[in-house]
């Protein structure tokens, strides 16, 4: 096929045939999108990697026997054919319904090589031979590929749908050698050098694509969240390609570490398409509120939401003496006794993402346990709090604020209590002790679905009920990447 026809046919793939969205029922609670800007960045990264791989690549030796007038039968050998320089004039990436087309054109490659010949003729008793080096410039090279992604059991596979390589003009410059030799080399070897370049570069690109695919497939399907929980980061459905983005979905629900049960009862509406509130970012990652609700349920079921408080910054609070005016009967019956508080969350906290922040409603039981006397009373609380999230490095970290809370007496062994005073006192304890502790935990954060060597830059968090959206640019650190991985891309 003529070179330009090939590239036109690649681009034809991008013309939408029909608007058919395939959804196979599975829902992802984390969704991601790569914008045109992100794709461009990825393209430049890939081309840069490809060019540095091709550099110093060696082509197989080429040899040919030819009859030369007056000189006789000659064996000419081109060896050590090495790429010494590559550059690309322009490159282009475009997504369409059927795939991602990547074209690099106006490429120029420089090769160095050694030549040698030896000729023998019946006229002379000895054979003649010579050797030297040569330089080849390959101009007007074009490479085009069409790629797509396929979901294979929760991993993404990169598929090379179409591929083309076109070598333009070759310029050969021999150092040394006679003019007859120069003409012979050009005549005999031009085509073979061109096809050797094509074979070698094509092989390398195919190899690179398959390495990239194995790298994608080797991404973990779950991310451990401490000792208790794991975040399921399996891909669901095939990525959706539009004319301006690649969109993908990740399961995103949290399960207990050893649980094999798929969490039930979470459903979501599809999210609006790529929009970062007017910002032009490379990637967008959205978390549905059920990611947080599934985590809440897992930590609750694992008994992680329960604390025995026997130390406070103000330790005096844990003695009945401190409470003698608020709960006089407690002090009267158990004077100067130490107390412990058994604080437990009594139902899984419900999380709701609004258009401003994340709201949570938490039900807590506080059991007062007096030294030598045991449990004497239980106070229940309903706490309404809001949380804002922000990105710190590759973590979503949070900060909790108390909006409202109410208390009531659940049971008592010491008669009725003065709940108004108690509420005021507990409010103080919450603000000075519990909240700072919870905020300390939230600052540790939840890791984002990550990519090796990629760091988040200019991240913005947005709330769009029931989704939290992070729009960000990314930067790639090759050094970090190499230190993490035993294999190279390309």
Ligand X SMILES: *[C@@H]1O[C@H](CO)[C@@H](O)[C@H](O)[C@H]1NC(C)=O
Q: Which residues have a Cβ under 8 Å from the Cβ of 243 and sit 6 or more positions away?
A: 14, 16, 94, 95, 96
| Of 105-113, 309-317, 325-333, 379-387: span binding ligand X (CB under 6 A) | 105-113
| Of 230-238, 272-280, 416-424, 436-444: span binding ligand X (CB under 6 A) | 230-238
**Least distance to ligand X from the beta carbon of 459, Å?**
26
* Backbone torsions φ then ψ of 180, nearest 5 degrees: -60, -35
**Least distance to ligand X from the beta carbon of 457, Å?**
25
- Answer yes or no whether residue 257 interacts with ligand X by CB under 6 A: yes
**Least distance to ligand X from the beta carbon of 342, Å?**
4
- Answer yes or no whether residue 17 interacts with ligand X by CB under 6 A: no
| Of 104-112, 267-275, 313-321, 462-470: span binding ligand X (CB under 6 A) | 104-112
Cβ distance 240 to 28 under 8 Å? no
- Answer yes or no whether residue 236 interacts with ligand X by CB under 6 A: yes
- Answer yes or no whether residue 131 interacts with ligand X by CB under 6 A: yes
Would you give the binding string for ligand X spanning residues 180-219, x where CB under 6 A is met?
Answer: ----------------------------------------
Among 174, 282, 367, 381, binds ligand X (CB under 6 A): 367
- Answer yes or no whether residue 24 interacts with ligand X by CB under 6 A: no
- Report the 10 Å Cβ neighbour count for 125: 7
The SS3 assignment for 458 reads strand
Query: CA-CA distance, 169 to 190, in Å (whole number)?
Result: 9
Q: How far is CA 166 from CA 1, 5, 7, 41, 62, in A?
A: 10, 11, 10, 24, 20
- Answer yes or no whether residue 141 interacts with ligand X by CB under 6 A: no
- Answer yes or no whether residue 80 interacts with ligand X by CB under 6 A: yes
- Answer yes or no whether residue 91 interacts with ligand X by CB under 6 A: no
**Least distance to ligand X from the beta carbon of 467, Å?**
18
- Answer yes or no whether residue 90 interacts with ligand X by CB under 6 A: yes
Query: CA-CA distance, 424 to 436, in Å (whole number)?
Result: 18
- Answer yes or no whether residue 23 interacts with ligand X by CB under 6 A: no
**Least distance to ligand X from the beta carbon of 132, Å?**
6
DSSP 72-141: EEEEEEEEEEEEEEEE-SEEEEEEETTEEEEEEEEEEEEEEEEEEEEEE-TTSSS-EEEEEEEEEEEEEE
Query: Token match 């003698």: residue?
Result: 324
Count, residues near ligand X per rule CB under 6 A: 28
Between 304 and 352, CB nearer to ligand X: 304
Among 224, 243, 432, 484, binds ligand X (CB under 6 A): 243
322 CA to centre of own chain: 53
End-to-end CA distance of the chain: 27
Query: CA-CA distance, 389 to 292, in Å (whole number)?
Result: 12
Among 22, 258, 264, 479, binds ligand X (CB under 6 A): 258
The SS3 assignment for 450 reads coil
Between 18 and 258, CB nearer to ligand X: 258
- Answer yes or no whether residue 224 interacts with ligand X by CB under 6 A: no
| Of 189-197, 258-266, 385-393, 405-413: span binding ligand X (CB under 6 A) | 258-266
Please count the residues of the chain.
Answer: 490
Query: CA-CA distance, 247 to 88, in Å (whole number)?
Result: 29
**Least distance to ligand X from the beta carbon of 260, Å?**
6
**Least distance to ligand X from the beta carbon of 229, Å?**
9
- Answer yes or no whether residue 477 interacts with ligand X by CB under 6 A: no
Would you give the binding string for ligand X spanning residues 301-320, x where CB under 6 A is met?
Answer: -------x------------
Q: Is the dihedral of CA 453, 391, 231, 443 positive or negative?
A: positive
Q: Which residues have a Cβ under 8 Å from the Cβ of 309 and sit 6 or more positions away?
A: 318, 340, 341, 342, 343, 433
Among 118, 237, 329, 342, binds ligand X (CB under 6 A): 342
Report which DSSP code applies to 218.
T
Please report, for the chain, how many H helices and E strands are present, in that order.
8, 24
| Of 199-207, 228-236, 314-322, 388-396: span binding ligand X (CB under 6 A) | 228-236
Cβ distance 342 to 367 under 8 Å? yes
Contact residues: ligand X, CB under 6 A? 26, 80, 82, 89-90, 106, 108, 112, 114, 131, 133, 154, 228, 232, 234, 236, 243, 251, 255, 257-258, 260, 262, 308, 342, 344, 365, 367
């Amino acid at each position: 096929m003529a070179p330009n026809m090939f590239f036109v046919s690649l681009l034809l793939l991008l013309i939408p045939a029909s608007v058919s969205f395939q959804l196979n029922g599975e829902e992802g609670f984390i969704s991601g999108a790569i914008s045109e800007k992100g794709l461009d960045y990825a393209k430049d990264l890939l081309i840069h990697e490809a060019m540095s791989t091709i550099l110093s690549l060696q082509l197989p030796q080429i040899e040919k026997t030819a009859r030369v007038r007056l000189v006789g039968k000659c064996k000419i050998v081109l060896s050590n054919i090495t790429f010494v320089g590559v550059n690309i004039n322009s490159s282009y990436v475009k997504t369409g319904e059927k795939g991602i087309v990547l074209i690099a054109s106006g490429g120029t490659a420089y090769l160095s090589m050694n030549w040698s010949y030896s000729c023998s003729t019946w006229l002379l008793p000895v054979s003649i031979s010579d050797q030297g080096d040569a330089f080849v410039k390959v101009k007007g090279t074009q490479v085009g590929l069409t790629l797509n992604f396929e979901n294979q059991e929760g991993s993404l596979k990169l598929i090379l749908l179409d591929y083309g390589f076109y070598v333009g003009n070759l310029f050969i410059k021999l150092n040394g050698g006679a003019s007859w030799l120069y003409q012979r080399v050009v005549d005999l070897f031009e085509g073979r050098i061109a096809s050797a370049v094509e074979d070698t570069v094509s092989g390398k690109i195919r190899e690179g694509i398959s390495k990239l695919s194995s790298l994608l497939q080797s991404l973990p399907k779950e991310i451990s969240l401490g000792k208790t929980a794991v975040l399921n980061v399996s891909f669901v459905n095939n990525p959706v390609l539009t004319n301006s983005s690649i969109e993908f979905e990740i399961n995103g629900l949290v399960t207990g570490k050893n649980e094999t049960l798929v969490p039930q009862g979470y459903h979501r509406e599809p999210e609006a398409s790529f929009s970062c509130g007017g910002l032009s970012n490379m990637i967008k990652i959205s978390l549905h509120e059920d990611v947080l609700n599934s985590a809440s349920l897992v930590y609750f079921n694992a008994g992680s939401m329960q604390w025995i408080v026997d130390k406070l910054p103000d330790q005096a609070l844990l003695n009945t003496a401190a409470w003698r005016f608020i709960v006089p009967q407690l002090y009267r019956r158990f004077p100067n006794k130490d107390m412990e508080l058994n604080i437990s969350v009594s139902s899984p906290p419900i999380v709701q993402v609004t258009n401003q922040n994340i709201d949570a409603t938490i039900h807590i039981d506080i059991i007062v346990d007096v030294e030598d006397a045991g449990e004497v009373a239980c106070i229940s609380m309903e706490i309404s709090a809001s949380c804002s999230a922000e990105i710190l490095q590759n973590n979503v970290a949070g900060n909790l604020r108390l909006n409202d809370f109410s208390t009531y007496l659940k049971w008592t062994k010491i008669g009725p209590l003065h709940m108004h005073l108690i509420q005021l006192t507990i409010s103080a304890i919450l603000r000075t002790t519990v909240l700072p502790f919870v905020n300390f935990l939230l600052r540790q954060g939840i890791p984002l679905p990550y990519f090796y060597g990629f760091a988040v830059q200019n991240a913005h968090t947005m709330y769009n009920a029931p989704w939290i959206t992070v729009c960000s640019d990314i930067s790639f650190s090759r050094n970090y990447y190499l230190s993490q991985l035993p294999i190279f891309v390309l």
